[in-house]
Structure 1
Amino acid sequence: MEDAEFDDILDDWFIESLKTYKDLHVYQLEHPTQVIEWTSEKTVCVAGYSLSKNEILELRLPLKLFADENKGLCAERDFKVAHGGFTDGPVRRLRHIPGTRCVVTNDGLSSDLQVWDLGGDDSDVIRRTGSIAGRRNVSERGSRIAARLSSPPQILHGAQSSDIQLTELTSGRTLYKLETDSADPLSSLQFVTDAVFLAGCSNGSVCVADTRTSAAPQLSPPPASSGDSVLWWADASVGPHPSSCRVIRLSSSGQAVVSDLRKLGAVCQAQLDVQTRCCNLDHVRVSWAPMLDDCISVSGFGGVVQIYTTCGWSMELQERQPLFQHRGHVVSSQQTDDSVPVFTTAHIWHPERPRTLLSAASDGSVHVWDWVDPEQSAAGSPIPRT
């Protein structure tokens, strides 16, 4: 692409963004990240994933983002590095332990975990403080990690459904093991309440279990249209009780299936408008919006982040168009005929700001953006929860 043509596309997109974004901030990391994790309302943790030495950073979001009035008078418009350190290997998974200044990471090469202290007011250094052994010496895709607010701190982790265990962080003591005969590789792991968790497998099956009991987990097989070569990702909406939670399963073919957590049978489905020819198990993300009803986000299929509303979906598999697309990572990266296409590596919703997301891409770009719903006043569009 010629420089003049690229400048024109970039200019057109920035002019368009004045109408389609309430806020848009761009930051460039030295190396790309595939982890973005909130450590507070205004800070996130990121880390590199190259096979050599990597940075692990805690970034403070632009203060301008949080200025409700007179945004133009706010001088702080950029991300700031609050704390930083180095890892000896890649960081493929990262989870903050609620109520602490600790994060737990996994390198994607084994099921072992690394524990890190993020530092505090007296130190800007992130340092490794320990490790936790997984149940497998070798793992094809590494361990998934989930955390909850508990005292003392505890983490749930595993590479396969048969490996899942709950570990006390300070002592390393195993508090719970999932008893199941299946050994399917995990694509997601999360708590939906203080004790109940959901494990999504890459073949499309999901299981729901309670760490307070040794009872057999609730199992759901892959959706009926799933094939052997299809990969799946899952996410559960978080509510005060499991009965209020829903599960979204997304396949590498673009099929999205919504289930009720109590029964795990399909409630509705849709065929999403994604680039199914280019996706990676470690990069695709599907997430329920924490502060919007019936709203999901999808990334990892190419260089965009898409927002969909599930309102109006039925059991008939119909193609659905995104409600909104963040194209900033692709537009701001100048592509040539022989360059490697930019793809998104991670995204995450802000826990309290309904339409604010952070996203990262393979070129090292990190964006924070607050999108404007083009159909905000239309019936059936997602509205902020009260």
Structure 2
Amino acid sequence: MEDDWIISSVKSYELLHTFDLPQSASALDWGSSGNVMYVGGSSLEQHSNEILELCVPEKILNPENGLCSKRDFTMLQGGFSLKPIISLKHLSPLDKLATVGTGNLVCVYSLSSCEKGMIKHVVDLRTSDPSPNHDGYLCWNDNYPTVILSGCTVGSAALVDLEKNAIVYQSSGELAVPLNGLAFTCKGSDNFFTLTCTGSIELWDPRVKSVVMQQENKDDSYFYAGVNFAMDVCGDNCEDTKLMRVSRLDEHIAFYDIRQWTKPVSSSFLLCHGGKNNHNKHLCAKFSPHHDGLISISGYSEGVGVYKTEPSLDLIFTHKGHEAETHDCSVLTHLWHPSIAKLLVSTSTDGALHAWQWKHDKLMTMESMYKK
């Protein structure tokens, strides 16, 4: 299976790099220029949690240069965390990293430590008390460069100023309701959405204490059922911002106009890109930063699926490399490169990191895939 996939991948990819991490990584973020990647990983067997700063190889950044000396990821510096790492964000203006695990503890690290090669822990900030034991989420808005949005439940969602090491806004929601996602409404706003474990999306405005608006189409039967929803938001301002919500349980994907987000503009059955994976607790959905009509999803079925959304939802490519290498592994997360079109990175439970870019002529429809 692995040999077959490697042979077929030559025809399918413009670029494909694989790298073995010390442990599986569920948290990824880019440096400000896109030539550095930050990776957060945890190992239950070794009871260790690592943060790595990796230099992206020149072969990926400039693939047209065939004589690149650096063709593999290299570690620039690293550090350890006492807490598991589920989400990670790089704050370039502060030269800091923020991480969250299970619970509402935000751990802050300095990338400019006096100890060369070390990512140094600086401070821990708790966004609510008591601390619920649910997966945490992090968001960063570059219009507010020192502030992050963090939370693991609706009631623990908070805006945290990492320059002042202080909470500047605390939501008034129910502390017991776990989150499946967090997102700012747009780059120019500090308003934000919470996606609950029941599939409900709520809008919060830091100028007021209570929720501003809430969807009514929630299903309480999903309560505490795990991570079965994912969302992402794209757009530079609230006039052109779109919101996407993916549901693992009813196999639907919905798109919303930010100005009328209580009802979807369009919705569709989620096309399965390979065998359905009901055991993967991770679900990730991302808008492409380069193409309005491209999205990517992992955790719903095997591999990472890339879809076009116009005129209707259609699967155009599936990265199956993680399952091809190890049959019992699952994709943990994935991320688009901020400036290189169609370049994605993805990680899996076996500790693999893949950087890949599919071929321009490899726009595969569902019909052509299932003819095989």
- Provide TM-score, normalisation by structure 1: 0.83
Letter of the 1:239 counterpart: G
Write the distance in 2 (CA, Å) between the matches of 1:172 and 1:348.
28
The Cα of 1:112 is off from its aligned counterpart by: 1.2
Unaligned runs of at least 5 residues, structure 1: 1-8, 314-319, 336-340, 379-386
Q: Does 1:220 align with 2:215?
A: yes
Deviation per CA, 1:128-176, whole angstroms, max 9, x where unpaired?
0111012033323133222223677112212222222212213333222
Q: Does 1:174 align with 2:167?
A: yes
Does the aligned pair in 2 maintain the 1:234–1:247 contact within 8 Å?
Answer: no
The Cα of 1:16 is off from its aligned counterpart by: 2.1
1:64 to 59, 67, 81: 59
1:263 to 260, 263, 267: 260
Write the distance in 2 (CA, Å) between the matches of 1:80 and 1:374.
31
Match of 1:5 in 2: none
- Provide TM-score, normalisation by structure 2: 0.86
Q: Number of matched residues?
A: 355
- Does the residue aligned with 2:6 lie in a helix, a strand or coil? helix
The Cα of 1:234 is off from its aligned counterpart by: 3.2
Write the distance in 2 (CA, Å) between the matches of 1:277 and 1:343.
8
Letter of the 2:10 counterpart: L
Match of 1:290 in 2: 289
Q: Does 1:77 align with 2:71?
A: yes
Match of 1:25 in 2: 17
Deviation per CA, 1:21-64, whole angstroms, max 9, x where unpaired?
11111000121111111123111111222241222111111111
Identify if the C-alpha distance between structure 1 residues 230 and 28 changes in structure 2 by more than 3 Å, giving closer, same or farther. closer
- Does the residue aligned with 2:5 lie in a helix, a strand or coil? helix
Identify if the C-alpha distance between structure 1 residues 135 and 251 changes in structure 2 by more than 3 Å, giving closer, same or farther. same
Does the aligned pair in 2 maintain the 1:200–1:207 contact within 8 Å?
Answer: yes
Letter of the 1:312 counterpart: P
Write the distance in 2 (CA, Å) between the matches of 1:221 and 1:374.
42
Write the distance in 2 (CA, Å) between the matches of 1:232 and 1:221.
18
Q: Which moved more, 1:236-245 or 1:77-86?
A: 236-245
Identify if the C-alpha distance between structure 1 residues 152 and 302 changes in structure 2 by more than 3 Å, giving closer, same or farther. closer
The Cα of 1:196 is off from its aligned counterpart by: 2.5
Q: How does 1:299-338 map to 2 (within 5 A)?
A: 299-313=298-312, 322-333=315-326, 335=327
Q: How does 1:68-217 map to 2 (within 5 A)?
A: 68-70=63-65, 72-108=66-102, 110-119=103-112, 123-149=116-142, 153-180=146-173, 184-191=177-184, 192-194=186-188, 195-214=190-209, 216-217=211-212
The Cα of 1:182 is off from its aligned counterpart by: 8.2
Deviation per CA, 1:164-217, whole angstroms, max 9, x where unpaired?
221221333322223446853111112222323222112111122333555742
Letter of the 1:60 counterpart: C
Deviation per CA, 1:314-340, whole angstroms, max 9, x where unpaired?
xxxxxx65210001111122x4xxxxx
Does the aligned pair in 1 maintain the 2:149–2:160 contact within 8 Å?
Answer: yes
Does the aligned pair in 1 maintain the 2:232–2:285 contact within 8 Å?
Answer: no
Write the distance in 2 (CA, Å) between the matches of 1:159 and 1:112.
9
- Does the residue aligned with 2:267 lie in a helix, a strand or coil? strand
Match of 2:370 in 1: none
Write the distance in 1 (CA, Å) between the matches of 2:298 and 2:156.
27
2:241 to 241, 245, 250: 245
Identify if the C-alpha distance between structure 1 residues 130 and 346 changes in structure 2 by more than 3 Å, giving closer, same or farther. same
Letter of the 1:362 counterpart: T
The Cα of 1:262 is off from its aligned counterpart by: 1.4
Letter of the 1:369 counterpart: W
Write the distance in 2 (CA, Å) between the matches of 1:64 and 1:120.
29
Write the distance in 2 (CA, Å) between the matches of 1:151 and 1:259.
24
Match of 1:4 in 2: none
